[in-house]
Amino acid sequence: MTIQAASDALVSLNGVNKHFGQLHVLKDINLQVKKGEVVVVIGPSGSGKSTLCRAINRLETIDTGEISIDGKKLPEEGKELALLRADVGMVFQSFNLFAHKTILENVTLGPIKVKKQDKATADKDAMALLERVGVGQQAPKMPAQLSGGQQQRVAIARALAMKPKVMLFDEPTSALDPEMINEVLDVMVQLAKEGMTMIVVTHEMGFARKAADRVVFMADGQIVEDAKPEEFFTNPQSNRAKDFLSKLL
Ligand code: ADP
Ligand code: MG
């Protein structure tokens, strides 16, 4: 394994602070994620995990600090932002598929609109992605005709269609019936194995143990621990993490 300088980070947050009114939601966050790394973010509800993800995708502004993707600082707005955002795929808890478009159209919309791909190429690429996540046969259907697990796999395919450099997952399985969780996690594990850079907010500790290079534990807007999964799970350093894990396991 080669040791990379911090500046080689694909995703880099330096001194990031964010308030919602009086509430200090992100407190001096420093986080570097290298190419191919899988970072699982865990922590109690309200600790700032979603805000962190949304800030990385610039769905949320930050007050101070800097976020860069592949060495490029996140721009404020405009066309540049749309392109940079395309580098960051995001999958949410609620699948957020476009309800009035087919599964195939859900996946081709971004490449056609943002990346100006021609329809034939976009269709072909989208079909390959849908096959890859195991829902190729669903391509002509509408989102409501699919199960939650299938819809979430479509959401992953849709994000991948933009050829992102990093994928963010914000509790991608929390809204799913238990029997569908694994079909989504399996796709994510596969993606991790293929070398995708991933930041994953999840309470699925099995996924963290299997796929994470690092576990980042957040509490009260701060990164409290940042360790390899085996270290974190067997020997958490802080009382906050010990307490959190004891309630989880
Ligand atoms: P987590 O994902 O870890 O549960 P969030 O990032 O969603 O935490 O929220 C962190 C804190 O910020 C919570 O106290 C939440 O209520 C608050 N918060 C999140 N979004 C907003 C918002 N748009 N306006 C005001 N407060 C918010
Ligand atoms: Mg959240």
Nearest to 110 by CA among 56, 149, 169, 155: 155
pLDDT in the model for residue 187: 97
Q: Is the pLDDT of residue 1 over 60?
A: no
pLDDT above 70 as % of the chain: 96
pLDDT in tens, 26-85: 999 999 999 999 999 999 999 999 999 999 998 999 999 999 999 888 777 667 777 777
Question: Phi and psi of 40, rounded to 5°?
Answer: -95, 130
Residue nearest to atom 7 of ligand 1 (CA): 50
pLDDT in tens, 144-200: 999 999 999 999 999 999 999 999 999 999 999 999 999 999 999 999 999 999 999
DSSP state of 176: S
Residue nearest to atom 24 of ligand 1 (CA): 20
Can you tell me the distance from the alpha carbon of 30 to that of 224, in angstroms, rounded to the nearest whole number?
A: 11
pLDDT in tens, 108-119: 999 999 889 999
Q: Is the pLDDT of residue 10 over 90?
A: yes
Regarding the beta carbon of 48 and ligand 1, being less than 6 Å apart is answered yes
Q: Which residue type occupies 146? A: L
pLDDT in the model for residue 81: 77
CB 33 within 8 A of CB 14: no
Residue nearest to atom 22 of ligand 1 (CA): 20
Strand order in the sheet with 23-33: 23-33, 11-20, 64-69, 72-73
Q: Is the pLDDT of residue 3 over 60?
A: no
Q: What is the pTM of this model?
A: 0.94
Q: Is the pLDDT of residue 6 over 80?
A: no
Nearest ligand to the CA of 23 is 1
pLDDT in the model for residue 114: 87
230 by Cβ neighbours in 10 Å (0-12 / 13-18 / 19+) ranks as: exposed
173: CA distance to ligand 1 center in Å?
19
Regarding the beta carbon of 39 and ligand 1, being less than 6 Å apart is answered no
pLDDT in the model for residue 95: 83
Question: To 10 degrees, the CA torsion angle through 87, 92, 98, 102?
Answer: 80
Q: Is the pLDDT of residue 227 over 80?
A: yes
ipTM value: 0.98
Q: Is the pLDDT of residue 215 over 90?
A: yes
Q: Which residues make beta-bridge pairs with 11?
A: 33, 69
Regarding the beta carbon of 221 and ligand 1, being less than 6 Å apart is answered no
Nearest ligand to the CA of 44 is 1
What lies within 8 Å, CB to CB, of 191 at 6+ separation is: 156, 160, 167, 198
Per the structure block, which two tokens stand in for 75? Answer: 């721009």
pLDDT in the model for residue 249: 61
Nearest to 219 by CA among 88, 99, 56, 52: 52
Can you tell me the distance from the alpha carbon of 221 to that of 223, in angstroms, rounded to the nearest whole number?
A: 7
